[in-house]
Structure 1
Amino acid sequence: MYVSIIGRTWKSKVREVIQKIKAEKAACYIVTTLDDIAWLLNLRGSDIPYNPLFFSFVVVCPDGRLHLFVDSDKVTVAVRQHLHLEPGSFVEIDIRESGAEGIALDVKVELHAYEELKDFIHSMVGTTDQGQFWFSPFCSQSIVSVIPKSRRLCKTSPITLMKNVKNPVELQGILESHIRDGAALCEFFSWLEQTVDSSEVDELTAVEKSREFRSSYENFVGLSFSTIASSGPNGAFVHYKPKEETCRKLSREEMFLLDSGAHYKDGTTDVTRTVHLGVPTDFQRECYTRVLKGHIAIRNTVCPVKTKGNQLDCLARIHLWNVGLDYNHGTGHGVGHYLNVHEDPIGIHRRPYPEDPGLDVGMVISNEPGYYQEGGFGIRIENLVHVVAASTNYNCGKFVTFEDLTFVPHQRKLIDPGLLTSDEVSYIDSYHTLCREKVGALLRSLGKTEALKWLIRETEPLG
């Protein structure tokens, strides 16, 4: 992948990992997490549906050698050029990089067959008598068993923590991909309103149509997960996937939930919107508005840097709890940059995650409270947000807050303004103004007249 999209070279990433290995006085770091490898090497693959990954292992050594274990048929000419490999050779040309304090560092890649990792580690244990072998808590026991207990260092992956914090180039790409994604969804919901009365429109049709609209936009690669399109009572199943035997027709009598996302070359999206194509009941409007209040509470949170997600989770639920309602899933998960749509270990959950490093500037996370009425309907509202420095009146340490990356309107007819505070109304109106400005400009430039009309209507002020 180009540095213009990624923001830094793979060599600079390896150099930073090496400094962390040296700080631990470790013999090496064994990388088994596939999105860590893809991120580290600025490469993407297609071995796993919806995840741009390739099966491989990596061992990074403090002397600058990076051992890549991968099937040879995946090492194309383009990959060799990217890794600066000599044609017909398994050893990289020396790459001189300026390391910490100006120290020159040679970075070398050596290729190995995918299945040779354990033999390699066993050999390295026998020939390296100093330093522990660093691996993450998620490393396979089959691999760990090769390492003597006295030489094991089980600790959070340094690459995972580096990957969680997006650089400015990555963040700009993520923002731009979300604007295109928002335009595609405006097209979808405009189309849906016009065609819902047709007997041909069902959940599977919605899945295909939402993909069709996204695929027409620049840098589209594919979906980031299997689309959840659920109408009426199917919406009460949190992770429902439409199938022929369960597929419902879409109707003006039911609520419709669409949880979908895409990979673009410059970013990954994940967005959920819930709509009613007819006249919602008072209870549906109340539930939707209380979910939206929780969504806004998370979005507008100001908290100390390194605050962990479980400390914030109740903010998304409190307005539901106040009337005896709740939802049985997490409120947020980390998201990669053209990588996994679920990127551990950051997130917003009821229970603490031991590996969670806490919020820091540059992290991207989802904000997705919901409510599910068994046998009736499902509601979820999901934006991706990124962590930014907060401006506070006083200076008692570093504080952070969130900014939206997703720009798709919230359905106005489902909002009960009587349940909102003036600050919440102000936020919704400001958010809708941004949707109109950012997504509207793209729709206008592409001549998407019907989608633009839909966007303008749905972003009229509440206040």
Structure 2
Amino acid sequence: MSTYEARLAALREQLKRDRLDGFVVPLTDEHMSEYVGAYAQRLAWLTGFQGSAGTAVVLPEEAAIFVDGRYTLQVREQVDPKHWAYVSVPETSVSDWLGEHAADGARIGYDPWLHTRAWVEAATKALKEKGAELVAVDTNPVDAVWPDRPEPSRARLVVQPDEYTGKNSAEKRAEIGEWLAAKKADAVVLSALDSIAWTFNVRGKDVERTPVALAYALVNKDGTADLFVQPEKIGEDVAKHLGNAVRLHDRAEFPKALAGFAGKRVAVDPERAVAAIFERLEKGGAETLQLRDPAVLAKAIKNAAEIAGHQAAQARDGAAIVRFLHWLSVEAPKGGLDELTASDKLESLRRETGLLQDLSFDTISGAGPNGAIVHYRASPETNRKLERNSLYLIDSGGQYRDGTTDITRTVAIGEPMAEMRDRFTRVLKGHVAIATALFPKGTRGQQIDAFARRPLWEAGLDYAHGTGHGVGSYLSVHEGPARIATFGGGDEPLAAGMILSNEPGYYKTGAYGIRIENLVLVVPKDVPGAEREMLGFDTLTFAPIDRRLVDVGMLTERERTWLNAYHAKVVEVIGPQLEGEVRAWLEAECAPL
């Protein structure tokens, strides 16, 4: 019996002991985080799936794992089809699948600290129609059969200085207090870790790749707050930074504290707060107001200090990228490089800056057909050589105290085929369409997503992921609420100060993948004769785009002008940080088409 087969069998035995006929295992934590600490990696432990989004359902005789289009290939490589059915979302939701597959009268368990209220309501309804019921558990049965489950991190919080935040914590809490007064609410629950980090100007090391600390917060309409965090994680510097207006409590006291709002109106974000928080508040006599966490939009609209920090981080990171691409140009033709060697080299170059705190996500280093796996993660088992006449895709980023970076480049190893150049050029045309887009204030990301796809659509092609996501300031590399996507969001108006990615792609299963990604800043644009307030993008990321993959004949004059101007800016921003052979290489790579 394999390791994962044994774990599945152990969970089924535990479900019998708990008198449950099934259990739902999401990939999240009690803060609804995208990236979670090792202690919350229940889905990976149970199934072997290493992606960053997914859910499993275990029934007595069958089990299913649910992933979106980014992980269609990855899940098949990592999860055994003998024991797990692959289900694609959003085509089929977990709730709908349960309604079809659960037995009449079944008791399906869920952990109320790992699901939203909306999910609970949808699953309850789907099961009720089948004569089955959804049952909240006090103890997660996966934890009961996970013998060496890691402990939550005990790393101390650190202060994020005002020079990077541009606004102190007292000001931010006062603004939240004003928001509460306008909503006629007494307090708001902050459970999203990046919202807490932003509001209190603190960072942590409790989640790999995202500098946040495990905590909960309650902010009151007078601007005072209660912060729930393990006591040993707070040093004197952080306590002094937080001041007397922030009362400190053990994180374990948070559920009990929710019972103390009888007769009060408490704002709770239905997308970011788990079902258990609503239940505890309402059981204690509070009236809950389903409102978006007030830090979400404020955090997304960067101030001048945050923008300056991003620009500095991007320039520093871009120099590391250029050094890497030059190294790749020298070493790849020799035939000895592989995915892991390449990604390790890039990380080492970022670390040479002396300012890297962490990567912003696990590097996607995909050679040949592995590049077609959108969120691929190289391992010793999957590691491929960078072969001649192939494409190599590397998507990576760094966490610096002044900013978070995310960049993808696709590089030709040897001589690319005509089809590769055609597809790459179509992706480039889509990238330029977003970079040069002009749109009225109030435009949503979903309205401009098709700009990036049109060159691919014209050839009957597409890609199964969004075109852009928000990026935090030394916070999450995937930050809401704005996205450039036609599905899974994208309905938030784009506002000046937001930072998003611009990353169209194309993926040919079993052959190669292509993606070109820069970060862009939403800025006001002066359009002569305009009758509306107009916005557009300024590109923040600077590194050469592989000219060998560009079919110049497919570009319009405007697109060619953009690429030449972009490459001139790369030399201007990155060139002064380089010298000798690397500088000469950069100038040659950025020569006008």
Report the TM-score, using the length of structure 1 for normalisation. Answer: 0.91
Residue 114 (structure 1) aligns with: 251
Of 561, 566, 569, the match for 1:426: 561
Aligned to 1:401, what secondary structure does the other structure show? Answer: strand
Residue 525 (structure 2) aligns with: 390
Aligned to 2:227, what secondary structure does the other structure show? Answer: strand
Instruction: Trace 1:218-233 onto structure 2 (pairs within 5 A).
Output: 218-233=354-369
Q: Structure 1: any 5+ residue segments left out of the alignment? A: 85-91, 93-107
Q: 1:199: how far off?
A: 4.8
Task: Return the letter of the residue paired with 1:430.
Answer: A
Answer yes or no: is the 8 Å Cα contact 1:28–1:133 preserved in 2.
yes
In structure 2, what is the Cα distance between the partners aligned to 1:279 and 1:154? 56
Residue 504 (structure 2) aligns with: 369
Answer yes or no: is the 8 Å Cα contact 1:305–1:398 preserved in 2.
yes
1:139 aligns to 2:273 (yes or no):
yes
Residue 422 (structure 2) aligns with: 286
1:323 aligns to 2:459 (yes or no):
yes
Residue 452 (structure 1) aligns with: 583
Residue 249 (structure 1) aligns with: 385
Q: 1:347: how far off?
A: 0.7
Q: Structure 2: any 5+ residue segments left out of the alignment? A: 1-159
In structure 2, what is the Cα distance between the partners aligned to 1:114 and 1:132? 19
With over 3 angstroms needed to count, the CA separation of the structure-2 counterparts of 1:17 and 1:456, relative to structure 1, is same
Aligned to 1:394, what secondary structure does the other structure show? Answer: coil
Q: Give the % identical residues.
A: 40
Q: 1:358: how far off?
A: 1.0
With over 3 angstroms needed to count, the CA separation of the structure-2 counterparts of 1:400 and 1:210, relative to structure 1, is same
Residue 197 (structure 2) aligns with: 38
Of 166, 172, 188, the match for 1:29: 188
Deviates more, 1:149-158 or 1:365-374: 149-158
Deviations 1:236-292 (A, max 9, x none): 111111111111111222110000000011000000000102111111111000000
Answer yes or no: is the 8 Å Cα contact 1:137–1:154 preserved in 2.
no
Instruction: Trace 1:287-302 onto structure 2 (pairs within 5 A).
Output: 287-302=423-438
Residue 495 (structure 2) aligns with: 360
In structure 2, what is the Cα distance between the partners aligned to 1:133 and 1:392? 40
In structure 2, what is the Cα distance between the partners aligned to 1:376 and 1:160? 39
Answer yes or no: is the 8 Å Cα contact 1:201–1:250 preserved in 2.
yes
Deviations 1:107-129 (A, max 9, x none): x110111011121121222xxx3
Task: Return the letter of the residue paired with 1:196.
Answer: A
Residue 277 (structure 1) aligns with: 413
Larger relative contact order (CA 8 Å, sep ≥ 6): 1
Please give the root-mean-square deviation of Cα atoms over the aligned residues, in Å. 1.4
Deviations 1:191-250 (A, max 9, x none): 111112445411000110000001111521110000001111111111111111111111
Q: 1:130: how far off?
A: 4.4
In structure 2, what is the Cα distance between the partners aligned to 1:325 and 1:46? 41
Task: Return the letter of the residue paired with 2:319.
Answer: A
Residue 376 (structure 2) aligns with: 240
Q: 1:134: how far off?
A: 3.8
Q: 1:396: how far off?
A: 2.2
Residue 47 (structure 1) aligns with: 206
In structure 1, what is the Cα distance between the partners aligned to 2:336 and 2:551? 32
Deviations 1:355-414 (A, max 9, x none): x43100000000000001111110000000000001112242211000000001111111
Task: Return the letter of the residue paired with 1:366.
Answer: S
Q: 1:10: how far off?
A: 1.1
Task: Return the letter of the residue paired with 1:357.
Answer: E
Residue 213 (structure 1) aligns with: 349
Residue 302 (structure 2) aligns with: 166
With over 3 angstroms needed to count, the CA separation of the structure-2 counterparts of 1:133 and 1:237, relative to structure 1, is closer
In structure 1, what is the Cα distance between the partners aligned to 2:363 and 2:585? 23
Q: 1:351: how far off?
A: 2.0
In structure 1, what is the Cα distance between the partners aligned to 2:492 and 2:286? 27
Q: 1:440: how far off?
A: 0.4
Answer yes or no: is the 8 Å Cα contact 2:389–2:417 preserved in 1.
no
In structure 1, what is the Cα distance between the partners aligned to 2:322 and 2:267? 50
Of 247, 261, 266, the match for 1:124: 261
In structure 2, what is the Cα distance between the partners aligned to 1:382 and 1:366? 7
